[in-house]
Amino acid sequence: MTSSDSMNASPLGKSTVYPTEYDPSLLYPIERKPMREKLGITGSLPFFGLDFWNAYELSWLNLRGKPQVALMNFNVSADSPNIVESKSLKLYLNSFSQTRMDEAADLIHVLRNDLSDAFGSPVQVSLRQQGDFASAKLQELEGLLLDRLDIGVDTYAPDPSFLKSNQEEYPVEETLVSNLLKTNCPVTGQPDWASLQIHYVGPQIDQEGLLKYIISLRTAQEFHEQCVERIFLDILRKCKPQSLTVYARYTRRGGIDINPWRSNFTSGKRPQLLRTARQ
């Protein structure tokens, strides 16, 4: 099946009957490989990373028939062979709405197994139940805000030529943030909005050029994971940092947000799992 055929077969952009009984076949995997080939990745990955997912619309029944609700968090490695189409995840999670479970731990076990099968790689799942809702605090990404720059912009198609760095000066270590990232779903064309954090060690990156580059992605049509990998590769190729991490916090769609993180930092330190104001 070609990448185009795979997208046509997905539930995205189609009228849907929402199931209410558990059905793991609703999960729709999409191979990462064709998306990465479009970015020029054909061998070993130039990064490691994780995709952090949050789902805000999860409900099931206890054995007495009383509805239960929770916030779901899970993460999957960037080297998993597949992503899962987000609408299919929504349909899958809704299929628990009339399904009885003895305990939340039983639900976690089912979720972990089904998602691991769909992604083709182990998935770590946790639930935040009602007693812990108050601990879900809002916090913004740390770093110097690029959006403070007063720039003129007239390019809204991906243009990595904006990316420049000062190769003549000593390396610096910086964390830069923007809330102006927008891309579009490659199937439905719906807008995807995100905040972006870039941490690097290397020649100092021209901040105005970086902001123009981020804005130039405004008409790009890519899944969240592919977009973050494009940004990582463009910065790596054009600015030549010694170390680089790119992290995006996307706003939710269909009660789900996806937050890809890619890095070549040898420390492998995970990002702060925060929820921003727009999420």
In a domain, 125, yes or no: yes
Confidence of residue 116 (pLDDT cuts 50, 70, 90): very high
Instruction: Kindly state whether residues 87 and 157 are assigned to the same domain.
Output: no
Active site members? 185, 192
Instruction: Kindly state whether residues 130 and 155 are assigned to the same domain.
Output: no
In a domain, 271, yes or no: no
Give per-residue pLDDT as tens, 226-260.
999 999 999 999 999 999 999 999 999 999 999 99
Please tell me the predicted confidence (pLDDT) of residue 274.
87
Confidence of residue 6 (pLDDT cuts 50, 70, 90): low
Instruction: Kindly state whether residues 35 and 126 are assigned to the same domain.
Output: yes
Instruction: Kindly state whether residues 98 and 198 are assigned to the same domain.
Output: no
In a domain, 11, yes or no: yes
Instruction: Kindly state whether residues 157 and 71 are assigned to the same domain.
Output: no
Residue predicted with more confidence, 184 or 4: 184
Of the residues 113, 135, 157, which one is the last residue of a structural domain?
A: 135
Please tell me the predicted confidence (pLDDT) of residue 1.
44
Give per-residue pLDDT as tens, 143-182.
999 999 999 999 999 999 999 999 888 999 999 999 999 9
In a domain, 274, yes or no: no
Number of domains within the chain: 2
Give per-residue pLDDT as tens, 13-70.
555 677 878 999 999 999 999 999 999 999 999 999 999 999 999 999 999 999 999 9
For the chain, where are the E strands, in sequence order? 29-31, 48-61, 67-77, 82-84, 123-129, 144-145, 165-166, 172-184, 191-202, 204-205, 243-250, 256-263
Give per-residue pLDDT as tens, 174-197.
999 999 999 999 999 999 999 999
Question: Residue 24 contacts by C-beta under 8 Å, 6 or more apart in sequence?
Answer: 92, 114, 117
Please tell me the predicted confidence (pLDDT) of residue 14.
52
In a domain, 154, yes or no: yes
Instruction: Kindly state whether residues 18 and 85 are assigned to the same domain.
Output: yes
In a domain, 224, yes or no: yes
161: CATH: 3.30.1130.10
61 near 100, Cβ under 8 Å?
A: yes
Instruction: Kindly state whether residues 128 and 25 are assigned to the same domain.
Output: yes
Please tell me the predicted confidence (pLDDT) of residue 18.
77
Question: Residue 107 contacts by C-beta under 8 Å, 6 or more apart in sequence?
Answer: 60, 96, 101, 127
Q: What integer is the mean pLDDT of 215-221?
A: 97
Please tell me the predicted confidence (pLDDT) of residue 268.
58
In a domain, 254, yes or no: yes
State the residue range of the domain holding 22.
Answer: 3-135
Instruction: Kindly state whether residues 122 and 239 are assigned to the same domain.
Output: no
Confidence of residue 128 (pLDDT cuts 50, 70, 90): very high
Whether the pLDDT of residue 5 is over 90: the answer is no
Instruction: Kindly state whether residues 28 and 67 are assigned to the same domain.
Output: yes
Please tell me the predicted confidence (pLDDT) of residue 272.
82
Whether the pLDDT of residue 4 is over 50: the answer is no
In a domain, 275, yes or no: no
User: How many other C-beta atoms can be found within 10 angstroms of the C-beta atom of residue 191?
Assistant: 12
Whether the pLDDT of residue 111 is over 60: the answer is yes
Instruction: Kindly state whether residues 218 and 108 are assigned to the same domain.
Output: no
Instruction: Kindly state whether residues 38 and 76 are assigned to the same domain.
Output: yes
Q: What integer is the mean pLDDT of 195-206?
A: 98
Please tell me the predicted confidence (pLDDT) of residue 11.
59
Rounded to 10 deg, the angle between the 207-216 and 224-239 helix axes is 150
Instruction: Kindly state whether residues 82 and 110 are assigned to the same domain.
Output: yes
